[in-house]
Amino acid sequence: MSRRLLAAMAKVLDPYYDLIMDEDLAKNEWPKQLDEHQKQEKQSIMAQVMTREMWDKFKDHKTKNGWTLARAINTGVTNPSSFLGCHAGDMESYTEFGPLFKGAVEKYHVGYDMETMKHVTDMDVNKIGTELADHAQKKIISTRIRCARNLSFFPLNTCGTKETREEIAELMEGVFKTFTGDLAGKFYRHTTMSEDEIKELVDKHFLFRGKDKMQAASGYHADWPHGRGIFVSNDEKFLMWLNEGDHLRIISMEQGGDIPSVFDRLGRGAAAVENGLKEVTKRDEVYMSSPVLGMITCCPTNLGTGMRGSVHIIIPKLIKKIGFEGIDKVARSMNCQARGSTGEHSEVIDRVDISNWRRLGYPEYNLVEDMIKCVNVISQMEDEIED
Ligand code: ADP
Ligand code: MG
């Protein structure tokens, strides 16, 4: 067998990286799989919102960057266990396929009315009006707060190309050079990092793993590893992800439970990124945003602040008593959620990740308060269990 033929055979579609369309959606036809999902009790938000009427009305619409309804819902159709099930390709997606995204936004961000409400932003650390209890402080391994940002002069990552992704990395390399003091650091690109370097950064909880099927089904991982990378400050407390989900994920993290210190660094970091971008691009506005939706993100769950603040907490007795599901239920009742030890969709190995659920319609400091209140209650529950 020829070498070329062998190489061609080896290049079968990789479900972890390549964009694989549902058979019907690939032909721009109503996805029959969705009929099945819509009969189940547990459905993604997309399946709850999507109708045949909506499909017929919007199936031939296309945004300037080429995003379609088929592309938007492919992730939920091919991954029936999705919680959300749809992604945007650009800012226009949120208006072009109006009822789908309006439905998704209002179902995730419960209580947010897109007709009458406006998003607010405030990262002032002095406005945090709740304190972490001592008993909670003692159980926290580390604290991390991240916020998502997308550049207004590129399509979102889902709709990007190898060139747009690399241009973003190029541009950001210039922005990283403007950082000073504790924010200064080093940029690592996936195209030049070794497997060992990647593994080390992932193991430290700094770097994304990639290989997320739900993201892959929307094209997030296309042209991997081009344009992907991570910036790490010299003290390893200020980081940035490039072209993982959104163009930029700005991250502040450190060991222990000093939440105000982490939030303060995030605010300073976010300002440095925005100022650096304005300086390098000579633009007055650099981010994709709107008064109603705040920061525009690929995933409608991240709209608004784009912020998820989390602590890694050790609560073995509570895990044994009520399990991960039980802890998540408590967290959900307090506008928060639980995740596993190594991020979204991961198992609990030792620590549990508790973070804010809400992102849109509330200023950032309020969301930090949500997390603190929830962690205090969960820590108290752990202490009330007899040994
Ligand atoms: P994101 O919301 O930023 O996409 P993920 O759930 O994918 O977050 O997690 C990304 C990485 O951040 C994972 O390695 C996860 O374990 C790590 N992480 C999340 N919260 C914390 C924390 N409080 N301390 C340390 N690492 C954390
Ligand atoms: Mg994520």
Q: What is the DSSP string of 253-312?
A: EEESS-HHHHHHHHHHHHHHHHHHHHHHHT-S--B-EETTTEE--SSGGGTBT-EEEEEE
Q: Tell me the pLDDT tens digit for each residue of 327-353.
A: 999 999 999 999 999 999 899 999 999
The finding on whether 143 has its CB within 6 A of some atom of ligand 1 is yes
- Is there a contact between 134 and 248 (Cβ–Cβ < 8 Å)? no
Q: Residue whose CA is closest, atom 6 of ligand 1?
A: 343
Mean pLDDT of the chain: 95
51: exposed, middle or buried (C-beta count within 10 Å: 0-12, 13-18, 19+)? middle
Share of the chain above pLDDT 70, in %: 96
Using alpha carbons, list the distances in angstroms from residue 338 to 9, 128, 139, 294: 42, 22, 15, 25
Which residue among 87, 215, 243, 312 has the greatest number of ligand 1 atoms within 8 angstroms of its CB, and so is best to mutate? Answer: 312
User: DSSP letters of 52-117?
Assistant: HHHHHHHTT---TT---HHHHHHHHHH-TT-SS----SSTTHHHHTHHHHHHHHHHHSTT--TTT-
Q: Quick count: other Cβ atoms within 10 Å of Cβ 180?
A: 8
Ligand 2 center to residue 152 CA distance, Å? Answer: 21
Question: How far, in Å, from the CA of 210 to the mean position of ligand 2?
Answer: 10
* Closest alpha carbon to 44 in 87, 91, 76, 9: 76
CA of 366 to the centre of ligand 1 (A): 20
φ, ψ of residue 277 in degrees (nearest 5):
-65, -40
Q: How many CB atoms lie within 10 A of CB 71?
A: 24
Q: Is the pLDDT of residue 1 over 60?
A: no
Q: Which DSSP string corresponds to 122-181?
A: ---GGG------HHHHTTEEEEEEEEEE-BTTS--GGG--HHHHHHHHHHHHHHHTT--G
- For residue 304, the CA-to-ligand 2 centroid distance in Å is 16
303 lines ligand 1 (CB under 6 A): no
What pLDDT is stored for residue 4 in this prediction? 67
Is the C-beta atom of 142 inside 6 A of ligand 1? yes
- Between the CA of 227 and the centroid of ligand 1 the distance, in Å, is 21
The domain 125-383 is placed in CATH, from the list 3.40.50.970, 3.30.590.10, 3.30.470.10, 3.40.1190.20, at: 3.30.590.10
Mean pLDDT of 77-97: 97
Model confidence over 267-288: pLDDT tens digits? 999 999 999 999 999 999 999 9
139 lines ligand 1 (CB under 6 A): no
Q: Name the phi and psi angles at 114, rounded to 5.
A: -65, -20
- Output the pLDDT for position 7: 58
In the chain, where does the domain assigned CATH 3.30.590.10 lie?
Answer: 125-383
Give the tokens for residue 386. 């007899």
Q: Which one, of 170, 165, 244, 158, lies nearest residue 208 by Cα?
A: 244
Residue nearest to atom 21 of ligand 1 (CA): 144
**For 313-331, what is the mean pLDDT?**
97
Q: How confident is the model at residue 14 (pLDDT cuts 50, 70, 90)?
A: confident
Q: How many residues does the chain have?
A: 387
Mean pLDDT of 96-121: 96
How far is CA 41 from each of CA 37, 171, 243, rounded to the nearest angstrom?
A: 9, 46, 35
Per-residue pLDDT tens digits for 220-251: 999 999 999 999 999 999 999 999 999 999 99
Q: Collect all residues with Cβ–Cβ distance below 8 Å to 145 and sequence separation of at least 6.
A: 251, 252, 253, 262, 263, 266, 307, 308, 309, 310, 368
| Whether residue 99 has a cis bond before it, omega within 30° of 0 | no
Pocket of ligand 1, candidates 246, 353, 354, 359: which has the most ligand atoms within 8 Å of its Cβ, to mutate?
Answer: 353
Distance from CA of residue 110 to its chain's centroid? 18
Choices 3.40.920.10, 1.10.135.10, 3.10.690.10, 2.40.110.10: CATH for 15-108: 1.10.135.10
Report which ligand 1 atom has the smallest distance to the Cα of 346: 6
For residue 352, what are the β-bridge partners? 313
Q: What percent of the chain has pLDDT above 90?
A: 94
Given a cut of 80, is residue 61 above it in pLDDT? Answer: yes
Residues with Cβ within 8 Å of 63's Cβ and at least 6 positions away in sequence, in order, are 89, 90, 92, 93, 96, 159
Query: What is the model's pLDDT at position 387?
Result: 86
Q: Which of 203, 208, 213 is nearest to 242 (CA)?
A: 208
CB of 343 shorter than 6 A to ligand 1: yes
Mean pLDDT calculated for residue range 356-372 = 98
Does residue 204 have a pLDDT over 60? yes
| Residue range(s) of every CATH 1.10.135.10 domain in the chain | 15-108
Over the stretch 139-176, which tens digit does the pLDDT of each residue have?
A: 999 999 999 999 999 999 999 999 999 999 999 999 99
Q: Tell me what the mean pLDDT of segment 82-97 comes to.
A: 97
With a 6 Å cutoff on the Cβ, whether 308 touches ligand 1 is: yes
- pLDDT value of residue 211: 87
Instruction: Scan for tokens 């032909």, then name that residue.
Output: 27
Relative to the alpha carbon of 339, which ligand is closest? Answer: 1
What are the C-alpha distances in Å from 368 to residues 258, 308, 342, 356, 372?
Answer: 12, 9, 21, 7, 6
